[in-house]
Amino acid sequence: MEFERHDAPFLTPKVDVASLMRQVLYALIPALAAHVWFFGPGILFNLIIACVFCLGSEAAMMKARRRPVQAALSDYSAVVTAAIIAFALPSLTPWWVTATASMFGIVVAKHLYGGLGFNIFNPAMAGYVVVLVAFPMHLNLWTAPRMGDIDYQYPTIIETLRYTLTAVLPADLGFDAVSRATPLDQMKTGLSNMQTFDEIHNNPMMGSFGGRGWEWVSNFVALGGIWLMFKKIIRWQIPLGVLAGLMIPSAFTYWANPGVHASPGFYLFSGATMLCAFFVATDPVSAATSPRGRLIYGAGIGFMIYAVRHWGSYADGVAFSVLLMNMAVPAIDYLTIPRIVGHEKFETWHHKSRT
Amino acid sequence: MTAPTFDLGTLHGGLRLPILKDESTAQVIQHVPIPSQLILPLAQHAGEPAHPIVSIGERVLKGQLIADADGIISAPVHASSSGKVIAIEQWPVSRRLGENAPCIVIECDGADQAVRLSEPIVPFEKLGPDTLFQKVLYGGIVGLGGAVFPTAHKLMEATTEDLEHLVLNGVECESYISCDDMLMRERAMAVVVGAQILLHALRLDHCFIAVESDKPEAIHALADALTEVQDERIAVKQIPTIYPSGAEDQVVQLVTRKEVPTGGLPTDVGCLVQNVGTAAAVYDWICSGEPLISRVTTVTGDGVVAPMNVVSRIGTTVADVVNFIGGYSERAKQLIIGGPMTGKSVTTDRVPLVKATNCILVLSDTPPIGAERPCIRCGDCAQVCPVLLLPQQLFWYACADNEAKLRSYGLTDCIECGCCDLVCPSHIPLTADFRSAKLRMRELADEKARAERAKHRFETRTVRLEREQLQRAQELMKQKEQIKKAGPRAIEEILERSGKPSGPDKDE
Amino acid sequence: MWIAVATIAGIALIAGLGLSFASRRLPPNDDDLVSKVDGLLPQTQCAQCGYLGCRPYAAAIVHEAAPINLCPPGGEDTVQRLAGLLGRDVVALANSAQSDMKHSIAFIDESLCIGCTHCRDVCPVDAIIGAHQFMHTILADECTGCELCLPPCPVDCIQLKSAA
């Protein structure tokens, strides 16, 4: 009897890229629900627009690069980028802002660098940074979280949709009436106005530890991230690195001078810290690869987030920190090569490598 | 007798593979009857192929030497049953994946008459190590774990080092394969006495039999045998059930806690490793006079109707073996000799079962082709690599053909276990890529060596030509000066001598 | 704003001057580079590139900006490696007639050889041995397949075969 010939191994791998990415999306569903509950349906519209533009630009770029389009779309990586962009942007965002972020992220940050597996920078963060700098006003329109006890008019679903499509607010709501400072904004302005942390924190908008509404979204993001760690889709080094890198300096300064600095708990649960630790920094393509390297990479991001929040002029430094550490990844990889079994130590450090 | 597992070294990475051995271990080892034809390849071992010493038409007996070892590293081949040599010709073999290689074909007469031994069997304790080595060589014993390195040479080379331990490898970590497990269950005494023979030959005092912890019956059988022989030198060590803990370097690391240095052998850290099957074969030859003419093979997979372990004569075709166990199922699509991680798929079942055939695996599905995606740098491959390599970097450099970087990132240390392939979400055929990269590296190294030699010869030649030119110029100058000194009369003398008319207009 | 423009322009000017000074007064170690280029050439010493051996060609590439695609035994692999080392563009081989025969070796037909030593004197790596009026033979391990021995043979007894 005759048979076909193939190469070993003959056991089928159980994982594949599409299922990895899909599970990342599933992990974000609880956080999405919390976001919609607290901040309205805007994020859903943003998600739809981001998906359309991310997938559309990916298809267009794959066609322009003469590569198979279906293969690229079916690995869900563009959808994950869209989801992160949707989480990063305010829920009331005009569609062209979302579209710009998506298209820049996919076309420039991903495909012009070589496509999946070759991009140096995290595409979602690159897209976010572009619109942060290009549309500063739109990115300051943060809605207040749902609470029964403050005087706030929530835009309805139709009004949200109208704003998303046309950037026209409802007639009775001016810009200042709709937007509220995020907890991070409040903390920053408060501290620079010489208020103590406790005074700022007593404001009901600040919630229990990370800002009303935002802390719950962060909780669910963290839960989703822990689920991903259990399923071994992400490894513990990056999330631990980010959280430790943020917590240690903030704990130190808080312990040294509690009145003037925000608490570590606040840092951890406000803004996009949890999203960064579990979903943004863990993007495998732009992160370091060796386990030790990942700890260093995560710690670097954590520290940079602290640095930007503490000393920088932006309220939240996640995007910049991630992009800065992306630049350091080749160096980190080179410096954290493990010692091969049977060797004394890694030899390239001794040789001058030729070519 | 059974050492606890906590005093083992650690193995980085590795995978817990699905075991898939229940069906093949459900019954005792079955004996495949002698086939009508035996096909014995001349190259069943590492090193030079054996050369035939029988001719077509000659009658041979079971256990008779039919091909002699040739060269420094080689092993002889024996007839697995009595019959007539009907051909010495090309036949498809598993070593060449179904392509042809020279084989001796014997038509069996069914009598299975054994050859008379040239010398009586002597208790092994009475034999000196050198005699034992020669006997082991003569018996055609090779490593039955898969590498088929001639055992006698391995033993002889080992005596030049400082050895501390003998390790018998009964780990068998790959899915599906259970031949060593069944051998240990049913012939534990043969394994133990084989260990004693090897200890005697190597003049060693410590032997560990390494067995994976998913083989409790084998461990008990070995413990019982050890109780019977009351030999304190031999102990069973349980190894955690992780692939590839059964690879030679990894077993050494686990049992002795020492890493085999890169490019080196286990003997460099005082350890000699032999498969349990090899030990049993040594016992059979030294104590019963039967050379290596049969072995235990696992026949399994969802492409056969009844998976089981069989002992068959070397030279039985795979087709005959599968026929015996009940035939193929309707879904048989791939024939693999070896395990699912390191085995080789062959094109035809006419290939004979040889000394290296530990498993015949018939599978119903083929690996998905064309589903390869770009590397997403997830790092999972590095997590499972038992040698602590960075497969994603090796892949990068293999694609770029960067020989220097491949060398410094340790491509030559890759044991080709296949763990990285299994965890890659992009389904990149990493092990196959590394194998071709290694070949390419060797090619490039050869090319470089040739170029260096050519350059050296060219430079030497250039120097030689310059030197000759310089010598000639110096001699010419000397001659001219001599003539000048001698004066014009000397020129006339020279011209007279050469019979030419003197005068001007002579050119040099 | 003009101050900013002036500052940047000034920095650019200083940097430019510094670089041109460095490239003129601090030349790179050329010998190193020639050795590197030579290391990438196949050492066939066949002179098909027009230079008398591989090292002279390497020197010409470095010092005289000779084209990098003149080496047929090196083939496209060598062109690509040279391009990578020197930062030049990859071009097609100038003479693509011979790039298929990798590792060809010359063989002397001993029934025709007359022992004239013409081939022996021409071989750039001394791979032919034989004295005047004695049989000549080619050392297969040392032959680079450069073909320089074929034209001088008066009886045409040398053939190129691919290395098996």
Q: Which of A337-341, A348-352, B111-115, B381-385 comes out lowest in average pLDDT? A: A348-352
Longest dimension (CA), chain A: 86
pTM of the full structure: 0.81
| CA of A282 vs chain B CAs: smallest distance (Å) | 9
Q: Are A262 and A305 in contact (CB under 8 A)?
A: no
Amino acid letter, A163: Y
For residue range A39-61, list pLDDT tens digits in order.
888 899 999 999 999 999 999 99
Quick check: A106 pLDDT over 90? yes
Which of B260, B328, B342 has the CB atom closest to A342's CB atom?
B260
Question: Tens place of pLDDT for every residue, chain B, 508 residues?
Answer: 455 455 678 888 899 898 899 999 999 999 999 999 999 999 999 889 999 999 999 999 999 999 999 888 999 999 999 999 999 999 999 988 888 999 999 999 989 999 888 788 888 888 888 899 989 999 999 999 888 999 999 998 887 778 899 999 999 999 999 999 999 999 999 999 999 999 999 999 999 999 999 999 999 999 999 999 999 999 999 999 999 999 999 999 999 888 898 888 899 899 999 999 999 999 999 999 999 999 999 999 999 999 999 999 999 999 999 999 999 998 898 999 999 999 999 999 999 999 999 999 999 877 665 578 899 999 899 989 999 999 999 999 999 888 888 988 899 999 999 999 999 999 898 999 999 999 988 888 888 888 888 888 888 998 999 999 999 999 999 988 888 887 777 778 878 887 765 555 544 4
Backbone angle region of B39, left / alpha / beta, with phi > 0 → left and psi within -120 to 50 → alpha: beta
| CA of A286 vs chain B CAs: smallest distance (Å) | 8
CB-based contact, A133 to chain B, within 8 Å: no
Non-local CB neighbours of B464 within 8 Å, separated by 6+ positions: none
Q: Are B340 and B175 in contact (CB under 8 A)?
A: yes
Give residue A355's pLDDT.
33
Which of B253, B332, B382 has the CB atom closest to A289's CB atom?
B382
3-class secondary-structure state, position A254:
helix
Give residue B508's pLDDT.
44
Cα separation, B459 vs B246, whole angstroms:
51
CB-based contact, B457 to chain C, within 8 Å: yes
Cα separation, A269 vs A215, whole angstroms:
5
Enumerate the H helices of B303-429 as residue ranges.
318-325, 380-384, 391-400, 403-408, 419-423
| CA of A127 vs chain B CAs: smallest distance (Å) | 20
Quick check: A249 pLDDT over 50? yes
Name the residue of chain B whose CA is nearest to C140's CA.
B450
Q: What is the DSSP letter of A198?
A: H
Non-local CB neighbours of A331 within 8 Å, separated by 6+ positions: none
Which of A13, A340, A341 has the CB atom closest to B422's CB atom?
A13
Are the Cβ atoms of A354 and C84 closer than 8 angstroms?
A: no
Q: Are A275 and A87 in contact (CB under 8 A)?
A: yes
Which of B175, B363, B432 has the CB atom closest to A7's CB atom?
B432
Among C residues 67-126, those touching chain B with beta carbons less than 8 Å apart: 124-126
Cα separation, B458 vs B275, whole angstroms:
51
Cα separation, A172 vs A125, whole angstroms:
34
Name the residue of chain B whose CA is nearest to A341's CA.
B387
CB-based contact, A355 to chain C, within 8 Å: yes
Beta bridge partners of A58: none
The two tokens of residue B319 are 């087709």
- Give me the total of CB pairs closer than 8 Å, taking one residue from chain B and one from chain C: 34
Q: Which of A74, A134, A138 is nearest to A103 (CA)?
A: A134
Cα separation, A144 vs A149, whole angstroms:
12
**Out of 1.10.287.610, 3.40.570.10, 1.10.10.10, 1.10.15.40, which CATH number does the structure's domain C27-97 have?**
1.10.15.40
Instruction: Encode burial over B165-200: b for 16+ CB neighbours within 10 A, e otherwise.
Output: bbbbbbbbbbbbbbbbbbbbbbbbbbbbbbbbbbbb
Question: What Cα–Cα distance (Å) separates residue B403 from each residue in A150, A151, B187, B256?
Answer: 68, 69, 48, 33
Report CA torsion sign: A268, A270, A272, A275.
positive
Are the Cβ atoms of B347 and A348 closer than 8 angstroms?
A: no
CB-based contact, B506 to chain C, within 8 Å: no
Cα separation, B304 vs B322, whole angstroms:
7
Q: Are C48 and C72 in contact (CB under 8 A)?
A: yes
Among C residues 128-147, those touching chain B with beta carbons less than 8 Å apart: 142, 144
Which of B447, B453, B462 has the CB atom closest to C142's CB atom?
B453
Amino acid letter, A186: Q
The CATH code belonging to domain C101-164 is 3.30.70.20
Which of C43, C126, C127 has the CB atom closest to B455's CB atom?
C43
Name the residue of chain C whose CA is nearest to A355's CA.
C85
Name the residue of chain B whose CA is nearest to A354's CA.
B404
The half-sphere exposure of B472 on its side-chain side, counting CA atoms within 13 A, is: 6
Q: Which residues of C touch A353 (CB under 8 A)?
A: none
Non-local CB neighbours of A136 within 8 Å, separated by 6+ positions: none
CATH class of B2-313: alpha beta
Non-local CB neighbours of A286 within 8 Å, separated by 6+ positions: A119, A120, A121, A122, A322, A326, A329
Tell how far CA C28 is from the center of its chain.
22
Question: What Cα–Cα distance (Å) separates residue A266 from each residue in A31, A195, A279, B35?
Answer: 18, 16, 19, 79
Give residue C99's pLDDT.
52
Are the Cβ atoms of A3 and B349 closer than 8 angstroms?
A: yes
Q: Which residues of chain C have pLDDT under 70?
A: 27-30, 95-102, 163-164
Question: What Cα–Cα distance (Å) separates residue C25 from each residue in C19, C21, C87?
Answer: 10, 6, 22
Cα separation, B56 vs B92, whole angstroms:
19
ipTM exceeding cut-off 0.95 for this assembly: no
Are the Cβ atoms of A354 and C36 closer than 8 angstroms?
A: yes
Q: Which residues of A touch B408 (CB under 8 A)?
A: 347-348, 351, 353
Query: Residue A31: in which H helix or E strand, if any?
Result: helix A17-39
Q: Which residues of A touch C36 (CB under 8 A)?
A: 354
For residue range C89-116, list pLDDT tens digits in order.
888 877 655 555 567 888 888 888 888 8
Backbone angle region of B8, left / alpha / beta, with phi > 0 → left and psi within -120 to 50 → alpha: beta
Q: State the average pLDDT for chain A.
A: 86
- Give me the total of CB pairs closer than 8 Å, taking one residue from chain A and one from chain B: 175
Give residue A55's pLDDT.
95
Domain ranges of chain B: 2-313, 380-436
Q: Which of A111, A110, A103 is nearest to A130 (CA)?
A: A103
> Which chains are adjacent to chain C, needing at least 3 Cβ pairs under 8 Å?
A, B
Are the Cβ atoms of B427 and A16 closer than 8 angstroms?
A: yes
| CA of A196 vs chain B CAs: smallest distance (Å) | 43
Cα separation, C96 vs C74, whole angstroms:
11
Q: Which residue has the higher pLDDT, B313 or A346?
A: B313
| CA of A241 vs chain B CAs: smallest distance (Å) | 16
Q: Are A90 and A315 in contact (CB under 8 A)?
A: no
Amino acid letter, B97: L
Cα separation, B182 vs B276, whole angstroms:
11
Q: Are B173 and B243 in contact (CB under 8 A)?
A: yes
Name the residue of chain B whose CA is nearest to A330's CA.
B393
Chosen for mutation from A111, A296, A341 (greatest number of chain B CBs closer than 10 Å) is A341
Cα separation, A110 vs A80, whole angstroms:
13
Q: Which residue bears the tokens 């900013």?
A: C4
Are the Cβ atoms of B455 and C126 closer than 8 angstroms?
A: no
Name the residue of chain B whose CA is nearest to C53's CA.
B458
CB-based contact, B467 to chain C, within 8 Å: no
Quick check: A348 pLDDT over 60? no
Strands B77-78 vs B334-337: parallel, antiparallel or unpaired: unpaired
Give residue C85's pLDDT.
84
The two tokens of residue A74 are 């079916």
Give residue A353's pLDDT.
38
Cα torsion through B409, B413, B414, B416, rounded to 10: 160
Q: Are C115 and C121 in contact (CB under 8 A)?
A: no
> What DSSP letter does each residue of chain C carry, written as one string?
-HHHHHHHHHHHHHHHHHHHHHHHHS---HHHHHHHHHHHS------TTSSSSHHHHHHHHHHS---S---TTTHHHHHHHHHHHHT------S-GGGTT-TTEEEEE-TTT-----HHHHH-TT--EE--TTS--EE-TTT-----TTTTT-TT--EEEEE--
Chosen for mutation from A4, A20, A74, A340 (greatest number of chain B CBs closer than 10 Å) is A340
Cα torsion through B96, B99, B105, B107, rounded to 10: 110
CB-based contact, A290 to chain B, within 8 Å: yes
Q: Which of A147-161, A282-296, B296-310 comes out lowest in average pLDDT? A: A147-161
Q: Are B409 and B447 in contact (CB under 8 A)?
A: no
3-class secondary-structure state, position A345:
coil
Name the residue of chain A whose CA is nearest to B433's CA.
A7
Q: Which of B41, B45, B48 is nearest to B72 (CA)?
A: B48
Chosen for mutation from B388, B396, B397, B412 (greatest number of chain A CBs closer than 10 Å) is B388
Give the model's confidence band at A210: pLDDT under 50 very low, under 70 low, under 90 confident, else very high. low
Name the residue of chain A whose CA is nearest to B387's CA.
A341
N-to-C CA span, chain C: 73
Give the model's confidence band at A151: pLDDT under 50 very low, under 70 low, under 90 confident, else very high. low
| CA of B416 vs chain A CAs: smallest distance (Å) | 10
Helix axes C75-86, C30-40, angle to 10 degrees: 160
CB-based contact, C36 to chain A, within 8 Å: yes
Q: What is the DSSP letter of A188?
A: H
